[in-house]
Amino acid sequence: MVNHILISKVLKEKLKDPYFKELHQLEEQKFEIVKRIVEYRIKNKLNQSALAKKAGVTQQYISKIESGEFSNIATLEKVLLFIGYTVKLKDVPLSQKMKHDIEIFARTKKRTQVA
């Protein structure tokens, strides 16, 4: 109970940072997508392979989605359409901090690939 209160307090404080809040909201959205897919599978007594076959994707992709890895929006949408949902994309301007972090990440990635 004490840990839960401490975590809630820390989260509340961190959410005051607009950058952290943006990232947190994205993670919450990803969690909701995963939750919907897993709940559908359980409700309909399907394993990952069966859902994949019905949705027209691979079992590996269902596994990735359920792990929170969405690398392909079109494939994700195939699965969501099958279970009665769709993807809604929205472009939003990046904060200066987010732009800066992306630039650093891109530079680091280039150095890693060269090495």
Q: What is the DSSP string of 27-91?
A: HHHHHHHHHHHHHHHHHTT--HHHHHHHHTS-HHHHHHHHTT----HHHHHHHHHHTT-------
Alpha carbon of residue 50 to chain centroid: 22
Two tokens, residue 54: 């019905």
72-106 pLDDT per residue, tens:
889 999 999 999 999 888 777 777 877 888 888 78
The pLDDT, as a whole number, for residue 23 is 84
Q: What is the pLDDT of residue 92?
A: 72
> What residues does each domain of the chain span?
2-87
Helix/strand/coil for 15: coil
* 115 pLDDT higher than 60: no
Amino acid at position 83, single letter: I
Count of CB atoms within 10 A of residue 95's CB?
14
Query: What is the CATH code of the structural domain delimited by 2-87?
Result: 1.10.260.40
pTM (2 d.p.): 0.70
- Which one has a higher pLDDT value, 62 or 95? 62
Burial degree of 37 (CB within 10 A; 0-12, 13-18, 19+): buried
Give the per-residue pLDDT at 114. Answer: 52
Quick check: 104 and 31 in contact, CB under 8 A?
A: no
Q: Which amino acid is residue 36, in one-letter code? A: R
**pLDDT, tens only, 4-61:** 788 889 989 999 988 888 888 888 999 999 999 999 999 999 999 999 999 999 999 9
pLDDT value of residue 1: 64
Ramachandran angles phi, psi of 86, nearest 5°: -140, 175
